Amino acid sequence: VVCRDGCIKAVGQADVIRSQFSGATFERIIDCSGKCVLPGLVDAHTHPVWAGDRVHEFAMKLAGASYMEIHQAGGGIHFTVEHTRKATEEELFNTFKHRLERMRRAGSTLVECKSGYGLNLETELKMLRVIERAKQSMDIGISSTYCGAHSVPKGKTATEATDDIINNHLPKLKELKLSGEIHVNNIDVFCEKGVFDLDSTRRILQAGKDIGLQINFHGDELHPMKSAELGAELGARAISHLEEVSDEGITAMARAKCAAVLLPTTAYMLRLKQPQARKMLEEGVIVALGSDFNPNAYCFSMPMVMHLACVNMKMSMNEALAAATINAAYALGKSDTHGSIETGKQGDLVIINSARWEHLIYQFGGHEALIDYVIVKGKVVYQNERCGTM
């Protein structure tokens, strides 16, 4: 039972609920006989605001070019930055809205959304305004992330870019937050060899934390950088990627209750070593999942991410479901309101046309026929037109 305020009022056996609410009237009743009701899925890492796809780079990758080789040849992030700077706010909002709708149809009800394809204050703010607009106008939960340190802008050194972010970008974000124009939740840095080193990363993350942002950053993806150790020391809420994390980093994250946001799509598409999900789970790290949707990893579907996590990272289906719901909500600082079906939490639900929930993971790419309803705050935001006929 979900109340008009969008929160779950009661959870339990059908006959108990029927007698408890025998005198109540409902705007809508959904018959879920023979179906499964799951928490809405949470995508803990996406880059969904950008212009200009990179389909041509996929062919380069298939031919053997590495991520950094493409990056150094003027492709990768810089290619997208160029197109995003030229795009109008309206163009960016329209494509972003379309992408969010596709994520929602695949069962995502809360999505982390990053800026990061601007690399200058003007474009980063344009992206954050687009994210803010979607927060206000769309029926989907959004956790917004400032990721101005996604790459070093052309013509600047990493130190110059770091100084610009600390002295100009973050004070402006603080000002816009106080005026109520933009509400950013997290701060992110791409801590990587040839991008932002450990010292620059530390400076930016600490400055972000000082203005009230949660630390949630890219670390230990392509090279071991001791990012996990740094995140644990700074009290990071979450660190993403971690393909090259050290044993000490895993231990530090477990101790600090810092979530690991693993991205099986990235390791799959870039043919990287898979993150050590099993070791992390055994050591007590809170493991979450994200799609890493971006021009380099074009995947909207958390059910497909869960499938890849099970097959390639050796997670069980139970672990993958927890990682795509309650643990992903934890990584965004929202596990007290999202990520599970409990009284008092937000009524975000996915109803699948199967008596066994495992079909959501088992049917690789089958979510379009499997998901009957997606519900956000008790409101049906997606109903499969073939609902009940499959």
Return the CATH class of domain 41-332: alpha beta
The four Cα atoms 88, 90, 95, 99 give a dihedral, to 10 degrees, of: 130
Cβ(45)–Cβ(147) below 8 Å: no
Instruction: For residues 316 and 302, give the distance between their C-alpha atoms in angstroms, rounded to a whole number.
Output: 15
DSSP 102-138: HHHHTTEEEEEEE--S--SHHHHHHHHHHHHHHHHHS
Instruction: For residues 113 and 60, give the distance between their C-alpha atoms in angstroms, rounded to a whole number.
Output: 27
Q: Which residues pair with 382 in a beta bridge?
A: 374
- At 372, which helix (H) or strand (E)? strand 371-376
Q: How does pLDDT run along the chain (390 residues), one tens digit per residue?
A: 999 999 999 999 999 999 999 999 999 999 999 999 999 999 999 999 999 999 888 888 888 888 788 877 778 888 999 999 999 999 999 999 999 999 999 999 999 999 999 999 999 999 999 999 999 999 999 999 999 999 999 999 999 999 999 999 999 999 999 999 999 999 999 999 999 999 999 999 999 999 999 999 999 999 999 999 999 999 999 999 999 999 999 999 999 999 999 999 999 988 889 999 999 999 999 999 999 999 999 999 999 999 999 999 999 999 999 999 999 999 999 999 999 999 999 999 999 999 999 999 999 999 999 999 999 999 999 999 887 554
Residues 6+ apart with CB under 8 A from 15: none
At position 273, the amino acid (one-letter code) is K
Instruction: For residues 306 and 136, give the distance between their C-alpha atoms in angstroms, rounded to a whole number.
Output: 29
Alpha carbon 387 to chain centroid, angstroms: 28
At position 207, the amino acid (one-letter code) is A
The residue ranges of every structural domain in the chain are 7-38+343-383, 41-332
Cβ(351)–Cβ(36) below 8 Å: yes
Angle at 381 between CA 377 and CA 387, to 5 degrees: 125
* Structure token pair of residue 307: 């499938």
What integer pLDDT is reported at residue 189 of this predicted model? 98
What's the pLDDT tens digit per position in 332-373? 999 999 999 999 999 999 999 999 999 999 999 999 999 999
What is the pTM assigned to this prediction?
A: 0.97
Instruction: For residues 360 and 380, give the distance between their C-alpha atoms in angstroms, rounded to a whole number.
Output: 19
Topology at the third CATH level for domain 7-38+343-383 = Urease, subunit C; domain 1 (2.30.40)
Helical segments of the chain, H only: 14-20, 55-62, 67-72, 77-86, 89-105, 121-137, 158-164, 170-178, 198-210, 227-234, 247-256, 264-269, 277-283, 302-312, 317-323, 326-331, 359-362, 367-370
Nearest to 103 by CA among 95, 94, 111: 111
At position 380, the amino acid (one-letter code) is V
The four Cα atoms 297, 69, 162, 166 give a dihedral, to 10 degrees, of: -10
For residue 313, the SS3 value is coil
Distances in whole angstroms, Cα of residue 360 to Cα of each of 101, 108, 304, 342, 375: 19, 13, 9, 21, 16
What's the pLDDT tens digit per position in 114-163? 999 999 999 999 999 999 999 999 999 999 999 999 999 999 999 999 99
Task: Tell me the backbone φ, ψ of residue 10, rounded to 5 degrees.
Answer: -155, 145
